[in-house]
Amino acid sequence: MSKPLLLPTMALFTFSALTGCNNVPSDNTAPKFDTGKTVTASELAGAKNADGFCALDTIDDVENAKSWTVKKSAISLVRGWAATSSKHVPTQLTIVLTAQQSYGFAGKIDEPRPDVAQVLGSADLANSGYNFAVDFSTIPPGTYHAFALTGSAAGSEICNIQRDIVVTP
């Protein structure tokens, strides 16, 4: 079970009542981008399979797709939100794409998301949004499933975003 595909598959946890939390922050500022890194099975194995909360709301302003298609040469803007299972803002976020291999893109969580704070009933989540650019040039073409790997003082958690990203040549 140490294969990168199996662990995230076991980490299926959702919070479907948050469909109203897919509002996109109005700030269109394009932050610096991450070129990604390979994520190892041991990094994923260290993550707690907990009731984490997360969403990937848009890629390049396309909202709430079940899957997105991006070009390998593209730098795309990803937006969403993430929280720990204890309803706090994580100190670290990596969007992980899994297929034959796993790739991660680090982003900063600090965007205003009052909708998330309201729906989850936690004022701590008022700035639980992320908005950063991803450089897909290092990712081989293929279909990837997306997860949010978060870190906090309590440790790391993995949240199934339940969306696919298709990287094309």
- Condensed to tens digits (0 to 9), the pLDDT of residues 109-137 reads 999 999 999 999 999 999 999 999 999 99
One-letter amino acid for residue 87 of the chain: K
What is the C-alpha to C-alpha distance for residues 141 and 74, in angstroms, rounded to an integer?
A: 12
State the CATH architecture for 6-11+34-168: Sandwich (2.60)
Where residue 148 falls among pLDDT bands split at 50, 70, 90? very high
Model pLDDT for residues 57-91, shown as the tens digit of each residue:
999 999 978 999 999 998 999 999 999 999 999 99
Neighbours of 29 (CB within 10 A): 8
**Residue 45 DSSP code:** H
Residues in the chain: 169
Distance CA 156, CA 93 (A): 9
Q: Where is average pLDDT lowest: 14-28, 37-51, 120-134, 143-157?
A: 14-28
**pTM for this prediction:** 0.78
Tell me how far apart the alpha carbons of residues 143 and 99 are, in angstroms, rounded to a whole number: 7
- 156: which strand partners? 151
Which residue matches tokens 């081989």?
140
